Chains A and B, each alone.
Chain A
């Protein structure tokens, strides 16, 4: 059985990453704090079930489940978090030309954040998990879907983001 105290302390090393990810998920600093607190409470409650391996990926999986529950509680009538919605996105657009690349290079952090926020919850989550440095296998584990599904959804989400960024770069 894992040492609960040690696990709790090691989990603290990922607090900033969990909060930042939570802020992008919820789009709200207060809700992100709630989400992180709920995540840590669940982590402590489930410490005995952690079987080793990538602690950060385990924490993000717990956070994702907490986020889904939080959404269900706060917006019971809203569509649920549905990664399958990504499958309806169009395929990848044509590669960007030099002009577009130059435009992208001039974008500010606020533009990038706005483009990320304009994505669907599903697309934003998968793009951010990729940016967090998780492998596609780890992303599949966090999201609870097949590896092939992650590959196709990530490709579509990044394509959607490129389109959004082009809008913000104009």
Chain B
């Protein structure tokens, strides 16, 4: 719009002074991590002399992939923990942390139908020690996540359930908690437990003691 009326021009000049807020550094870092995970598209046509070179590069890449899976780096795993902690903070800071309040897990889980492209597997309905507050839909990196909110005394515990594929899961130094092999991490004062069960990934995050989270994690699917 190019206003010719002086009043309109005045309004434009005034609105140009509106406060503008740059994206927080943490959000920028997360989005840059997302962008860096995307793979360039394969060129549709290669020059005849480029084809052998491309084949050699592909073979080298294959060796590298076998030796060291893409994304399986300490930095990438730290990103996974940071993402889980950030998601927990977004949940607890949100003005509406749950979209469906709990009447038990059998009320919360069906609510996700049609809102997610996977079925979150959680069997624990909450109890007096870890009451289930409710659920909502969130994001874990580039994918949707089922978000469950539990309480423990005055603390909030966030459980994120999401498709586990294409994420840099740790394969060594895991702690056995019943049937689970859990990656235990600590970041910014929060404890985070991450593990896989089948095709799904789980992240349990809170400022409660690690021992409390360790008691809750195995009960989620094996109450």
Are the C-beta atoms of B94 and A73 separated by less than 8 Å?
no
Docked CA distance A95–B40 (Å): 54
Complex Cα gap A19–B17 (Å):
17
CA gap between A3 and B38 in the complex, in Å? 9
DSSP class of A's interface residues: helix, strand, loop or mixed?
A: helix
Interface size on B, residues (CB 8 A): 45
A9 lies within 8 A of B139 (CB): no
Flag if B19 contacts A110 (CB, 8 Å): yes
Produce 1/0 per residue, A14-28, CB < 8 A to B: 011011100100001
Total inter-chain residue pairs, C-beta < 8 Å: 130
Distance, CA A94 to CA B205, complexed state (A): 57
A40 at interface, CB cutoff 8 A = yes
Interface membership of B62, Cβ < 8 A: no
Known A4-B41, A109-B17; judge A19-B96 contact (CB<8 A): no
Q: 0/1 per residue, A37-51, Cβ < 8 Å to B?
A: 110110011010000
Proximity bits, B77-102, A CB within 8 Å = 1, else 0: 00000000000001001111001000
| A131 x B15 contact (CB < 8 A) | yes
Verify B15–A112 contact, CB threshold 8 A.
Answer: yes
In the complex, chain B residues whose CB is within 8 Å of the CB of A5: 35, 38-41
CB of B51 closer than 8 Å to a CB of A: no
Q: Are B34 and A40 in contact (CB under 8 A)?
A: yes
Residues of B that sit less than 8 Å from A by CB? 1, 5-8, 10-12, 14-24, 27-28, 30-32, 34-35, 38-41, 90, 93-96, 99, 115, 136-139, 141-144
Q: 11 A-B residue contacts at CB 8 Å?
A: A8-B34, A15-B31, A31-B95, A37-B139, A40-B35, A95-B7, A101-B7, A105-B10, A109-B18, A130-B1, A162-B7
Which residue numbers of A lie inside 8 Å of B, CB to CB?
1-6, 8-9, 11-12, 15-16, 18-20, 23, 28-31, 33-34, 36-38, 40-41, 44-45, 47, 73-74, 95-96, 101, 104-105, 107, 109-110, 112-113, 116, 127, 130-131, 136, 154, 158, 161-162, 165
